[in-house]
């Protein structure tokens, strides 16, 4: 398989870990504009609604320097066992990074068994070879391409993946991975390279993947502005700074959730939002959105609000009305 050669951005091993840790902490102004002591903060990742109507949210909290996975059911904190019992078969949710700084996804298969998938974030453990973990067992991808696998989805019990090819070069800070070309992988033999939009100025990889059918998939890209690919077509949602964190489809409607910045800044003052068929729906200023779930006519979005990282507080929105989550 051909390896791309034109790099746009460099990510060192440490830099990738810090980058994804920082993605937990995107958000801005709190309701009262005051800062807490910095002892606790958090974010909500995935949101699901089961067949009984329970609203399930997964996320994380940092309490006195300790990172913890946190789970909520109908706004109340529950332990992971109680949470998994309410997750329907065929549902996937995101957890916090583990002790090895790997991204973690949990999938409850159609037989009710929970599988854990972990994704390295650029440690160069295998010298840039493509791999991922299933239940902590490394699975190497049968290709000689350099890059990283970073997102997963399921169609039935069959996984599909997304990531980015790249190159490894030496820098002042050590050897680094240069992501260059996003890809979709069907988990078997088919890899689809995805074209970067011409205005991409800081490609950081991919954020998410969703499969509607064997012939229709969506990949969220971190290109400096909110966008995603439908198959190999790039769809730009806004020219200002932003990110798409999850994509889903309900009927014929495509939803992408994330954030954008009205001042075109990549630092603070973001607006949590989702796009339905490319049309913008704002949720709240000084916030970010991470997950989305459509249940009939109801739109559920998970995320956080807060002025600075130590103030970020997890929440979700139901049809635009915010519900704060205690931890």
pLDDT, one tens digit per residue, over 124-152 is 888 899 999 999 999 999 999 999 999 99
Top-confidence range, 60-64, 117-121, 185-189, 299-303: 299-303
22 vs 107, residue with greater confidence: 107
Instruction: Examine residue 3 and state whether it is found in any structural domain, yes or no.
Output: no
Instruction: Examine residue 5 and state whether it is found in any structural domain, yes or no.
Output: no
Which of the four pLDDT bands, split at 50, 70 and 90, describes residue 174?
Answer: confident
- Report the predicted TM-score, pTM, of the whole model to 2 decimal places: 0.88
171 vs 21, residue with greater confidence: 171
What does the pLDDT read at residue 38?
52
DSSP 116-161: EEEE--S--TTTTB-EEEETTEEEE-S---BEEEEEEEEETTEEEE
CB within 8 Å of 216: residues ≥ 6 apart: 230, 231
Give me the count of residues in the chain. Answer: 327
Instruction: Examine residue 1 and state whether it is found in any structural domain, yes or no.
Output: no
Instruction: Examine residue 116 and state whether it is found in any structural domain, yes or no.
Output: yes
Instruction: Examine residue 141 and state whether it is found in any structural domain, yes or no.
Output: yes
pLDDT, one tens digit per residue, over 256-272 is 999 999 999 888 889 99
Q: How many domains does the chain have?
A: 1
Top-confidence range, 41-50, 120-129, 302-311: 41-50
Instruction: Examine residue 280 and state whether it is found in any structural domain, yes or no.
Output: yes
CATH of the domain at 144: 2.120.10
Instruction: Examine residue 294 and state whether it is found in any structural domain, yes or no.
Output: yes
201 vs 42, residue with greater confidence: 42
Instruction: Examine residue 6 and state whether it is found in any structural domain, yes or no.
Output: no
Question: What is the domain extent for residue 108?
Answer: 11-324
pLDDT, one tens digit per residue, over 229-258 is 999 999 999 999 999 999 999 999 999 999
């Amino acid at each position: 398989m051909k390896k791309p050669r034109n790099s746009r951005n460099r990510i060192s091993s440490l830099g990738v870990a810090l980058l994804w840790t920082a993605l937990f902490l995107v958000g801005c102004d709190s309701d009262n504009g005051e800062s807490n002591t910095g002892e606790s903060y958090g974010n909500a990742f995935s949101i699901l609604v089961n067949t009984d109507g329970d609203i399930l949210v997964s996320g994380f909290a940092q309490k006195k320097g300790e990172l913890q996975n946190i789970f909520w059911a109908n706004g109340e904190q529950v332990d992971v066992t109680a949470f998994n019992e309410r997750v329907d078969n065929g549902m996937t949710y995101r957890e916090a990074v583990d002790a090895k700084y790997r991204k973690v996804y949990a999938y409850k298969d159609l037989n009710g068994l929970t599988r854990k998938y972990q994704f390295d974030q650029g440690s160069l453990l295998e010298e840039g070879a493509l791999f991922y973990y299933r239940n902590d067992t490394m699975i190497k991808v049968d290709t000689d391409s350099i890059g990283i696998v970073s997102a997963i989805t399921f169609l039935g019990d069959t996984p599909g993946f997304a990531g980015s090819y790249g190159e490894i070069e030496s820098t002042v800070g050590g050897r680094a991975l240069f992501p260059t070309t996003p890809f979709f992988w069907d988990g078997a033999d088919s890899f689809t390279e995805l074209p970067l939009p011409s205005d991409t100025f800081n490609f950081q990889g991919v954020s998410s993947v969703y499969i509607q059918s064997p012939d229709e998939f969506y990949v969220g890209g971190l290109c400096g502005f909110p966008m995603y690919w439908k198959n190999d077509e790039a769809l730009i949602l806004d020219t200002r700074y932003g990110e798409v964190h999850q994509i889903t489809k309900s009927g014929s409607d495509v939803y992408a959730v994330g954030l954008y910045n009205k001042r075109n800044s990549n630092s603070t003052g973001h607006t949590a939002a989702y796009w339905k068929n490319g049309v913008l729906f704002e949720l709240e200023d000084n916030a970010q959105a991470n997950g989305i779930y459509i249940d009939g006519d109801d739109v559920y979005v998970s995320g956080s609000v807060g002025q600075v990282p130590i103030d970020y507080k997890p929440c979700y929105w139901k049809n635009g009305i915010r519900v704060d989550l205690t931890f």
